[in-house]
Structure 1
Amino acid sequence: MSDLLPIRRALLSVSDKTGLIEFGRFLAARGVEILSTGGTAKALREAGVPVKDVSDHTGFPEILDGRVKTLVPQVHGGILGRRDLPEHLAQMEQHAIAPIDLVAVNLYPFEATVAKGAGFEDCIENIDIGGPAMIRSAAKNHAGVAVLTEPQHFAEIQAEIEAKGGTTLATRRRLAAAAYARTAAYDAAISGWFAKQEGQDFPPRLSLPGVLRQGLRYGENPHQKAAFYVDGGNRPGIATATQVQGKELSYNNLNDTDAAYECVAEFDKPAIVIVKHANPCGVAVAGDLSKAWDAALLCDPVSAFGGIVAANRTLDAAAAEKITAIFTEVVIAPDADEAAKAVFAKKKNLRLLLTGGLPDAAAAGLAFKSVAGGFLAQSRDAGRVTQETLKVVTQRAPSRAEMADLLFAFRVCKHVKSNAIVYAKGLATTGIGAGQMNRAESSRIAAWKSEAAAKAAGLERPLAEGSVVASDAFFPFADGLEIAASAGATAVIQPGGSIRDAEVIAAADKAGLAMVFTGMRHFRH
């Protein structure tokens, strides 16, 4: 069989009709017989493209409301028959099966139907059967058939046919690989949806759909390869964002920006989150974004340089002016007004991402982490504590201001790598200790950072003085709490549950601290 195969007969049956008419006209002009079904045939005819209904070609009508129209030997035999085997050709002639050289199929919009919240029956009816069968048949027999599964394939194949008179084996093989990837993702979406309908959080088999959004220059480090895939979900964030300006996003940009946006979505009032290396280095809530920026930056201006900034409101010019006053890699927000965009435009390398919405911090979903030989799956940490769920365990209860700061600090702590310690005052972080091997070291680092930030701002007293402190997990010993007390903390929020809770509570009482237990921890590794 020749590497280069001409197209004499094509079967076109597509849900997404982008580029269909132009491609149909191109094939017709070259004398290709076009077979088609339903809406695709109608669209081609209305555009003046000669087309033959599959039912006329096969001699078998569409039945069962169109559920059966291509699942017949005349179609699959024409696709699967090997042109290099005389016995196949003889059988095809015996049964009047004409070869089909090109199959263009994209599938019923199952993923889109689910995404718009359709009911069970509508979702079932949008599960394509004949389409995947034809795609898989054509992909298997790619030695003699070209299979097109995406609208952009039309132009690619047209260019090759115009240049070479047919399709090359290399192209058909590449298209076959894309075809199997498409049907695999389609089946993964269906199986995932079915698992949810059955209440299965962790089904016996789990397949993850993913569509390549962009290749990345490299991964976390230049010697690593990387790419960005999206799963088709509608959770607002980096996958739904429009990049308004700036350089291409890197692997680390995407990872850090996601961390920042998930954190800022925790807050109902105007908030700013500054992230560096996936950890918040400044978080604040205020009356507007400009004031929130000032308070967030104060916490750690050194780390903020070259950081990622997330806002939970539409960016205005005042906030944009302050954000661009220092070197910033990425800014992400639901939107930005025209004045803010003009400010950001002056920093041509800054990436501005607008998402159109905020993720629901309390929404369910799965999170994944790769390990050797597989991956771990768990529900997203959507846990939240409220004042009503807290247990006061010390002789002194927190004041109203302390309570507001405690709840704020614990929400921030949820997004800091363990072991995590967060100081906060006036709904702004005043010191953050992240990712240490013991909690006492995180306490020391957070206190030290508060002193360094105060000096940078020309203040006489450390920022942590008069702050509350949050811990993502219990204090196993009193030392971490004692360090916080020495730094000037006045109240503590922690999960509790240590065998030494009584010792820690006694240390808090001795220092005059108010302390509450959440009963919920927020490890983040």
Structure 2
Amino acid sequence: MNKYALLSVSDRRNIEKLAAALNELGYAILATKGTSNYLDNIGINNIEIARLTRFPEILNGRVKTLHPRIFAGILADRENLEHMKTLEELGIDCIDLVAVNLYPFAETWSREGVTHSELIENIDIGGPSLIRAAAKNYKSVMVLTDPQDYESVLAYLQNNKEVPLELRIHLAHKAFEYVSHYDTIIAEYFKSLDSFKEYSPNIPSYYSISCKLEQPLRYGENPHQMAGFYLSHQSPLEVLSGKELSFNNHQDIDATLRGLRLFEQPAVIITKHCNPCGIGVDSDLALAYEKAYKSDTDSPYGGIVGVNRSLDIKTAELINRVFTEIIIAPDYDTGVLEFLKKKKNRRVIKYNPELLNKFSEPWELKCLTYGWLLQSWDLVQENPEEWEVVSEQKPEKDEWEALIFAWKVVSLLRSNAIAITGKDRVYGLGAGQTSRIDSTHLALWKAQRYGHNLSGAVCASDGFFPFRDSVDELHKYGIKAIIEPGGSKSDNEVIEACNEYGITLVLTGYRHFKH
């Protein structure tokens, strides 16, 4: 009985080596038209599938491998006498090896100017079916979806050894993961279409994610933890200089980008351990950096600086005064990269500014030890015109701008969170405490430590004040306005305290907890 291997690949890495070796081992190679032409051109014997099935490719290639002669040859259980008898009666040969990878849907989707019709034609139908069939019959059929696996299988075949069951199971598992990832990317594309939103449920009944290992990382949050960086689409980050990014680097970059998207003015955020330690805005980026740095002059050491404008040389020189582990910007002015690259270990990152304008995926997924939690992103999109001024004292224009700024800042902190700010800079932050008064004390202490004059400053709280104690404390330091969600049974007590001290109090009706 003839031995057959079926090859159908878009990714042609190592295919010449595989095909040549299979020919030497006595396999007849079946190939789809594109792969067959490629093998013909490099002088490797093969049989185009249409010759075997005696049925041509039709519908512009949409139907080519979907044929009983192909699928019976793959799916027949070699230990089932009835299966083998059926193949013999119908003159069907077994196919013992299937090497298939799929139309490049994700790559096509990421291409600029691609049309919907092009993407539809890049949805592979026969390929996933071949892979699933071969993986289902893994005991008898070797399924290869990754060119890097060709060599390990050939090593056994060329030494007349049986491919171990453990390796066959590994290849089958890899094949099903590959098809699952492929289908999930296509589903994401359909979910991105405007017409999808009309019928999309509030919360999806099923939520699938699939991502591919982009880069193994040296370790996770700690050296004893294994880690990797995964992507479902093309990375929006480009490392222009410095060492590869670590697990914690990626977390810090993400936290910085989440903050930068909130500010329309030129903004600088300095991040340390996923927390902002300084934020400044100004029409001049260098001045914005100075404001951010002066918020807390100790913490920026070894931190991350993120900006939402092309980084100019003046700002780069200011950043360069302090050891900064990572700099991220949407672009770099002429000469800036050359200047920054003088410090070789510093990572210089360019990000796609579209990251700050939209989220392609509306859901945020969190992993638990016993399940997953899904929620929509907290995008901090409230309209300030809908906020309620509940105090007797009303905010002036500058005070109102400061409250808007403070509200954005506090949304970036771990709860319980307190942010004391001006209209363009941070004075003191308190986050991650188990009581709101502790966060208040911490924010005030930080502001005092770095010599900030809080007379006229404002305070934002991510959750309501459960008591008036924080208001009493803020008044001692000259805080003139407070913004918080409201909703506590002690709201009247808090309002009364603000009126007593002549403090403006604004209730937003929204909470921004970050657990």
- What TM-score range do you get, normalising by the shorter chain? 0.7 to 0.9
Which whole-Å deviations, capped at 9, do the CAs of 1:452-498 have from their partners, x for residues lacking one? Answer: 112xxxxxxx3433211111122222212222222222212212222
When residues 47 and 357 of structure 1 are mapped into structure 2, their CA distance, relative to the original with a 3 A threshold, is: farther
Is 2:105–2:123's contact at 8 Å kept on the other side of the alignment?
yes
1:466 aligns with 2:459: no
Amino acid at match of 1:502: N
| Number of the residue aligned with 2:431 | 434
Q: 1:33, CA displacement in angstroms? A: 3.5
1:476 aligns with 2:476: no
1:106 aligns with 2:98: no
Which whole-Å deviations, capped at 9, do the CAs of 1:368-424 have from their partners, x for residues lacking one? Answer: 111232100001112323432222222222221112121111111111111111111
Is 1:324–1:347's contact at 8 Å kept on the other side of the alignment?
no
Structure 1 Cα separation of the partners of residues 416 and 274 of structure 2: 14
Structure 2 Cα separation of the partners of residues 367 and 335 of structure 1: 28
1:495 aligns with 2:490: no
| Number of the residue aligned with 2:313 | 317
Structure 1 Cα separation of the partners of residues 25 and 388 of structure 2: 78
When residues 83 and 383 of structure 1 are mapped into structure 2, their CA distance, relative to the original with a 3 A threshold, is: same
- The match for 2:185 among 171, 184, 189 is 189
Structure 2 Cα separation of the partners of residues 18 and 218 of structure 1: 29
| Number of the residue aligned with 2:53 | 58
Q: 1:85, CA displacement in angstroms? A: 6.6
When residues 339 and 220 of structure 1 are mapped into structure 2, their CA distance, relative to the original with a 3 A threshold, is: same
Q: 1:52, CA displacement in angstroms? A: 2.6
- The match for 1:508 among 482, 498, 504 is 498
Q: Which moved more, 1:260-269 or 1:313-322?
A: 313-322
Q: 1:434, CA displacement in angstroms? A: 0.7
1:177 aligns with 2:177: no
For residue 303 of structure 1, give the secondary structure of its aligned residue in structure 2. coil
Give ranges in structure 1 of 5+ residues lacking alignment: 1-6, 455-461
| Number of the residue aligned with 1:244 | 240
| Number of the residue aligned with 2:402 | 405
Which whole-Å deviations, capped at 9, do the CAs of 1:28-69 have from their partners, x for residues lacking one? Answer: 687753322244344444566544321211123334554432
Amino acid at match of 2:481: A
- The match for 1:425 among 402, 422, 427 is 422
Is 1:160–1:167's contact at 8 Å kept on the other side of the alignment?
no
| Number of the residue aligned with 2:133 | 137
| Number of the residue aligned with 1:524 | 514
Q: 1:212, CA displacement in angstroms? A: 1.1
Q: 1:127, CA displacement in angstroms? A: 3.5
| Number of the residue aligned with 2:388 | 391
- The 5 A counterparts of 1:297-312 are 297-312=293-308
When residues 163 and 270 of structure 1 are mapped into structure 2, their CA distance, relative to the original with a 3 A threshold, is: farther
Structure 2 Cα separation of the partners of residues 201 and 310 of structure 1: 34
TM-score (norm 2): 0.87
Which whole-Å deviations, capped at 9, do the CAs of 1:425-459 have from their partners, x for residues lacking one? Answer: 141111111111111111110110011112xxxxx
- The 5 A counterparts of 1:22-421 are 33-45=28-40, 49-64=44-59, 66-81=61-76, 90-112=85-107, 126-150=122-146, 152-153=148-149, 156=151, 160=155, 168-169=163-164, 172-192=168-188, 197=196, 198-232=199-233, 239-360=235-356, 363=359, 365-421=362-418
Amino acid at match of 1:442: S
Is 1:146–1:167's contact at 8 Å kept on the other side of the alignment?
no
Structure 2 Cα separation of the partners of residues 136 and 378 of structure 1: 33
When residues 296 and 163 of structure 1 are mapped into structure 2, their CA distance, relative to the original with a 3 A threshold, is: farther
When residues 504 and 127 of structure 1 are mapped into structure 2, their CA distance, relative to the original with a 3 A threshold, is: same
Which whole-Å deviations, capped at 9, do the CAs of 1:171-194 have from their partners, x for residues lacking one? Answer: 554433321111122233345556
For residue 256 of structure 1, give the secondary structure of its aligned residue in structure 2. helix
When residues 38 and 353 of structure 1 are mapped into structure 2, their CA distance, relative to the original with a 3 A threshold, is: same
- The match for 2:450 among 431, 438, 453 is 453
Structure 1 Cα separation of the partners of residues 478 and 158 of structure 2: 75
When residues 317 and 151 of structure 1 are mapped into structure 2, their CA distance, relative to the original with a 3 A threshold, is: farther
Structure 2 Cα separation of the partners of residues 417 and 472 of structure 1: 9
Amino acid at match of 2:231: V
When residues 18 and 404 of structure 1 are mapped into structure 2, their CA distance, relative to the original with a 3 A threshold, is: farther
Structure 1 Cα separation of the partners of residues 152 and 286 of structure 2: 52
Q: 1:251, CA displacement in angstroms? A: 1.8
Structure 2 Cα separation of the partners of residues 254 and 164 of structure 1: 45
Is 1:307–1:329's contact at 8 Å kept on the other side of the alignment?
yes
When residues 167 and 69 of structure 1 are mapped into structure 2, their CA distance, relative to the original with a 3 A threshold, is: farther
Q: 1:153, CA displacement in angstroms? A: 4.9
- The 5 A counterparts of 1:9-28 are 9-17=4-12
- Percent of paired sites with the same residue: 41
TM-score (norm 1): 0.86
Is 2:406–2:423's contact at 8 Å kept on the other side of the alignment?
no
- When the two structures are aligned, how many residues end up with a matched partner? 506
Amino acid at match of 1:210: C
When residues 389 and 113 of structure 1 are mapped into structure 2, their CA distance, relative to the original with a 3 A threshold, is: farther
Is 1:23–1:158's contact at 8 Å kept on the other side of the alignment?
no
Is 2:221–2:248's contact at 8 Å kept on the other side of the alignment?
yes
Q: Which moved more, 1:251-260 or 1:189-198?
A: 189-198
For residue 494 of structure 2, give the secondary structure of its aligned residue in structure 1. helix
Which whole-Å deviations, capped at 9, do the CAs of 1:191-215 have from their partners, x for residues lacking one? Answer: 5556672402432222211111222
Which whole-Å deviations, capped at 9, do the CAs of 1:9-43 have from their partners, x for residues lacking one? Answer: 43222344556567656766877533222443444
Which whole-Å deviations, capped at 9, do the CAs of 1:156-175 have from their partners, x for residues lacking one? Answer: 46985898588944655443
Structure 2 Cα separation of the partners of residues 168 and 288 of structure 1: 65
Is 1:384–1:411's contact at 8 Å kept on the other side of the alignment?
no
Q: 1:152, CA displacement in angstroms? A: 4.9
Which whole-Å deviations, capped at 9, do the CAs of 1:486-513 have from their partners, x for residues lacking one? Answer: 2222212212222222221221122222
Amino acid at match of 1:208: I
Is 2:4–2:30's contact at 8 Å kept on the other side of the alignment?
yes
For residue 376 of structure 1, give the secondary structure of its aligned residue in structure 2. strand
Q: RMSD in angstroms over aligned alpha carbons?
A: 3.1
Structure 2 Cα separation of the partners of residues 290 and 487 of structure 1: 29
